[in-house]
Amino acid sequence: MAGLTAWVLGDQLSHDNPVLDGADRVLVVESAARLRSRPHHRQRAHLYLVAMRSFAAELAERGFEVDYRRADSLAAGVRAHRRRHRPDRLVVLSPSSRGARRGVERIAGVDIADGTLFLTSTEQFAQWAEGRKRLVMESFYRDQRRRLDVLMDGDDPAGGSWNFDAANRRTPPRGTRPPKPYRPRENRIDSEVRRDLDRMRLPSYGCDGPRLWPATGEQARRSLRRFVADRLPGFGPWQDAMLQGERFMWHAHLSPALNLGLLDPMECVEAAERAYREGDAPIESVEGFIRQLIGWREYVHGMHWLSGRERGRRNALRAHRDLPAALWSGETGMRCIADAVGGLRATAYAHHIERLMLFGNLMLLLGCEPDACLDWFRDSFIDGNEWVMDANVLGMATYADGGGVMTKPYAASGRYVDRMSDHCAECRYDPKARTGEDACPFSALYWDFLARNRKRLGDNHRMALAYENLDRIGGDELAAIRARARSARRELSA
Ligand SMILES: Cc1cc2nc3c(=O)[nH]c(=O)nc-3n(C[C@H](O)[C@H](O)[C@H](O)COP(=O)(O)OP(=O)(O)OC[C@H]3O[C@@H](n4cnc5c(N)ncnc54)[C@H](O)[C@@H]3O)c2cc1C
Ligand code: SF4
């Protein structure tokens, strides 16, 4: 036997994966080392395995010879494949993250094909970045709109504006609840995977089942259609809102399918633009959704490859604390955190504002060590991939990159959560208070954070107003605020 083997990685499950063209056979490797490396959310391990096995079955139906291997590691899987099939060439599509690419490069004799499952190649992003003082997402996004000809009316942005954020950031009227999300039906592969995971006794946490996430291209497309029909119209105005017990709100919850390669981002963009052109969804929702996809998602991926960050090398705010135990247990009097952690354990998902303004904000204000934050986000979420982490966790959430992505930290007090959610009304803490044991931890920690980081942030002109406000607080009150911040830290870590 000889010929060409196409090796498909677990996040490259696209039938348009270019390495499949002309391949004599396909190799897919389930690596036990990867599964065991860290305590992942169980639902994440489940989804990955079901998606990989389902993809292999689809390829076999398409007529490919498929070598599906369960091995100790990716390298061991490749070695076993070579022994059995002796291919002349083994080719894999360039992995989406640096770490994975290094791992593949260490396996001798594997050809790495150019190209990704993104809309912007790493070279295109590097060209865009070249010579710019600041890599501002909004200007990248506008260039993407022009380059990809998305939501354009000739040379002008559709609807007369590039960005409709001002019309968004609202909370839904009282009593409004989001439509029910699409749910796939489990099959034989789910049962097998669940049995295998039980047998492997992996270090995992969170609930597994029923599977909530699409594991095939067909399921992903159904999920996309349901999103466009039911939720896209409300996506814009309510994308920053949080409601108790509502995990998905009007969000797409398509990131796992996109990150696995099951959905092509342009397919999602075209479906949303069609809804706008046909009058089924307003411009502020469609523009907001498309900005996330051709703007944020591509920017975050491009920044990952540009930054070349090594672990432990970015900690601009010198943050060294451990993560609070409540992020795993959900056991805290903070209603917002308890609700979001409970949801995370059940679904492996939280929407963007929960990730940024609850989890990220808490880590930032407490001063948690950035690499620990990064591990927590990667392991806990259904869509956690290495390439997503740099810009989102080290940039946006914790400001560990010192301003590479944001011009200032996303720090907020309990008043923000109160404005954007219904959590505070039922919380034992008071979002408006910043001293005393009833004070909202976010509110005390916010001022403590500013005071603690004055040397590092005081010169940032975008923080000027915050520091003016801090300076209006009298010495005794600031001492009381900082005492409350200390007790809040103790409560969270108990
Ligand atoms: C601290 C933090 C951690 C995050 N971790 C992840 C992660 O592990 N994996 C992940 O895919 N996204 C991550 N994000 C980005 C974003 O929050 C998720 O992509 C989004 O919540 C996924 O849910 P959704 O599909 O309902 O997204 P929607 O809000 O409906 O957005 C639509 C799509 O846009 C893309 N998108 C939007 N914002 C971003 C962004 N900032 N970065 C990358 N893609 C984006 C996603 O593909 C998403 O599916 C993180 C953001 C923050 C602030
Ligand atoms: S009062 Fe503070 S802790 Fe309680 S729900 Fe509101 S923001 Fe969260």
Only one residue has tokens 């990159």, namely: 401
- State the pLDDT at residue 308: 65
Return phi, psi of residue 233, to 5°: -55, -35
**Alpha carbon of 255 to ligand 1 centroid (Å):** 6
Pick from 492, 488, 383, 400: which is nearest to 446 by CA?
488
What domains can you pick out in the chain, each with its CATH number?
Answer: 4-113 (3.40.50.620), 122-179+212-307 (1.25.40.80), 326-493 (1.10.579.10)
> Taking residues 92-96, what's their average pLDDT?
96
pLDDT of residue 307: 80
Cα–Cα distances in Å, from 43 out to 37, 209, 214, 346, 383? 16, 7, 12, 9, 11
What lies within 8 Å, CB to CB, of 232 at 6+ separation is 250, 252, 272, 275, 280, 281, 285, 286, 289
Residue nearest to atom 7 of ligand 2 (CA): 414
Mean pLDDT of 228-248: 95
Least confident of 102-111, 141-150, 250-259, 299-308: 299-308
pLDDT digits (tens, 9 = 90+) for 435-459: 999 999 999 999 999 999 999 999 9
Indicate whether 93 pLDDT > 90: yes
Structure confidence at residue 309 (pLDDT): 57
SS3 state of residue 86: coil
Exposure string of 288-315, with b = 16+ CB inside 10 Å and e = fewer, is: bbbbbbbbbbbbbbbbbbbbebeeeebb
- Give mean pLDDT, residues 205-233: 95
351 lines ligand 1 (CB under 6 A): yes
- According to the model, what pLDDT value does residue 1 have? 62
pLDDT digits (tens, 9 = 90+) for 259-313: 999 999 999 999 999 999 999 999 999 999 999 999 999 999 999 999 865 555 7
Q: Which of 109-118, 124-133, 263-272, 306-315 has the lowest mean pLDDT?
A: 306-315
CA 227 to chain CA centroid, nearest Å = 18
How far away, in angstroms, is 352 Cα from ligand 1 center?
6
Contact between residue 389 and residue 309 where contact means Cβ atoms under 8 Å apart = no
Read off the pLDDT band of 2 (50, 70, 90).
confident
pLDDT digits (tens, 9 = 90+) for 29-40: 999 988 888 888
Burial of 380 (0-12, 13-18, 19+ CB in 10 A): buried
Task: Calculate mean pLDDT across residues 124-134.
Answer: 94
CB atoms within 10 A of CB 106: 10
Q: Is the CB of 397 under 6 A from ligand 1?
A: yes
Confidence band of 207 (pLDDT split at 50, 70, 90)? confident
**Mean pLDDT, rounded, for 226-232:** 97
- pLDDT (0 to 100) of residue 311: 52
* % pLDDT > 90, the chain: 89
Question: CA-to-CA distance for 489 and 484, rounded, in angstroms?
Answer: 9
CB of residue 440 inside a 6 A radius of ligand 2: yes
Residue of the CA atom closest to atom 2 of ligand 2? 440
> Could you say which DSSP state residue 61 is in?
H
Tell me how far the alpha carbon of residue 271 lies from the centroid of ligand 1, in angstroms.
Answer: 19
Mean pLDDT, all residues of the chain:
95
Q: For 169-179, what is the mean pLDDT?
A: 87
- What is the reported pLDDT for 478? 98
Structure tokens at 177: 């609840």
Q: What is the DSSP track for 12-58?
A: ---TT-GGGTT-SEEEEEEEHHHHHHS--BHHHHHHHHHHHHHHHHH
Please tell me the residue having the least CA distance from ligand 2 atom 8.
336
- Nearest CA to 214 out of 177, 249, 259 is that of 259
Q: Give CA–CA dist 210/212, Å, rounded.
A: 6
The one-letter amino acid at 363: M
Q: Whose CA is nearest to atom 5 of ligand 2?
A: 424
Say if residue 405's pLDDT is above 70: yes
- The alpha carbon dihedral of 218, 381, 34, 117 has a sign of positive
CB 418 near ligand 2, within 6 Å: yes
**Does ligand 1 lie within 6 Å of residue 258's CB atom?**
yes
424 lines ligand 2 (CB under 6 A): yes
Q: Which atom of ligand 2 is nearest to the CA of 337?
A: 8
The arithmetic mean of pLDDT across residues 107-114, rounded, is 94
CB within 8 Å of 200: residues ≥ 6 apart: 32, 35, 36
For residues 438 and 430, is the Cβ–Cβ distance under 8 A?
A: yes
| 10 alpha-carbon distance from chain centroid | 17
Q: Which ligand is nearest to the CA of 387?
A: 1
Q: Is the CB of 492 within 6 Å of ligand 2?
A: no
Report which residue type is found at 456.
Answer: R
Whether 414 is in the pocket of ligand 2, judged by its Cβ within 6 Å, is: yes
- What's the pLDDT tens digit per position in 10-65? 999 999 999 999 999 999 999 998 888 888 899 999 999 999 999 999 999 999 99
Nearest CA to ligand 2 atom 1: 431
Q: How far is the CA of 469 from the centre of ligand 2 (A)?
A: 21
Report how far residue 114's alpha carbon sits from residue 17's, in angstroms, rounded to the nearest whole number: 11
Q: Which amino acid is at 1?
A: M
CB-ligand 1 contact for 214 (6 Å cutoff): no
* Ligand that comes closest to the CA of residue 297: 1
User: Which of 388, 389, 410 should be mutated for ligand 1, with most atoms under 8 A from CB?
Assistant: 388
pTM given for the model? 0.96
